[in-house]
Amino acid sequence: MYIIPSVDILDGKCVKLIQGKPKTGLEVSSNPVEVAKMWEKKGAKILHVVDLDAAVYGDLKSRKIVKKILDEVSIPVEVGGGIRTVEEAVLLVEAGAKWVILGTAALENPEFVVEVSKKIGSDKIIVALDSKENVVLKKGWTKETSYSPFKIVKIFESLNIASYLFTDVRVEGKMEGVNISYVAKLAKSTKIPITYSGGISSIQDVLNLSKIGLRGVVVGRALYEGIFSLEEVLGALNYASRKS
Ligand code: AMZ
């Protein structure tokens, strides 16, 4: 299971918001590119980059920073936020993204995912199931859809996409722990690998998640606040896998 550090970009800066709300949380750095390079140096195998200017406001002004990250790191990067046209998805893959994360546009029109997969291949697509109390959200987490994550996983199942990114918005950025039984139930309900995000507050949370067969876990605030380091969590996972 991959530990995937997140680099969230808002207004050109690397931030860590609480429940995705602008003006909350912390400013991690004024230089997201340096943060991305730091994670690569510390041993991350995948990086998670979210353009919040695009996800929340539909403003593509931070795309140049995303592209700079893609230029400057060698590890595979998954990019999300405001990818709402086929052209935008293609551009990001051409710029070096290994995966594009599709949220709002996929939820509003499932056919969009089919169109993107025709251009870049379904193995480069991650569909975001950002959810609160079993309801999937869209538009920077400001609007509810009428779907539960369990319903969405069925819609794209046959497309063989790379992963579903399940974010538990209720706990995102709050370090209040993980609803393991819910995530386990979701993972069991689909053959597409799940990437989990939200509320990680300890290495134990990560170890618990590692037992339910996920693709990866996105970690933000716990790393940025030094609750544990990337080296520590990778070491703990390694130790646990050797013991079992
Ligand atoms: O923090 C937020 N408010 C937020 C966020 N992190 N809103 C959206 N996103 C991320 C999703 C997904 O990776 O987790 O943006 C992507 C989806 O964007 P869009 O524009 O396709 O809905």
Token pair of 214, please? 């996920």
How many domains would you assign to the chain?
1
Please tell me the distance between residue 243's alpha carbon and the centre of ligand 1 in angstroms: 36
pTM recorded for the entire structure: 0.97
How does pLDDT run across 97-114, given as a tens digit for each residue? Answer: 999 999 999 999 999 999
Look at residues 71, 186, 89, 87 and name the one whose alpha carbon lies nearest to residue 79: 89
11-63 tens-digit pLDDT:
999 999 998 898 898 899 999 999 999 999 999 999 999 999 999 999 999 99
**C-beta of residue 171 within 8 angstroms of C-beta of residue 178:** yes
Ligand 1 pocket test, candidate residues 16, 46, 50, 217, most atoms within 8 A of CB? 50
Ligand 1 pocket by C-beta < 6 Å: which residues? 17, 20, 50, 52, 55-56, 80-84, 101-105, 128, 130, 138, 140-141, 165, 167
Host domain of residue 72: 2-243
Whole-angstrom Cα distance, residue 80 to residue 50? Answer: 5
Task: Just list the catalytic residues.
Answer: 8, 130
Confidence of residue 74 (pLDDT cuts 50, 70, 90): very high
- Provide the CATH number for the domain around residue 121: 3.20.20.70
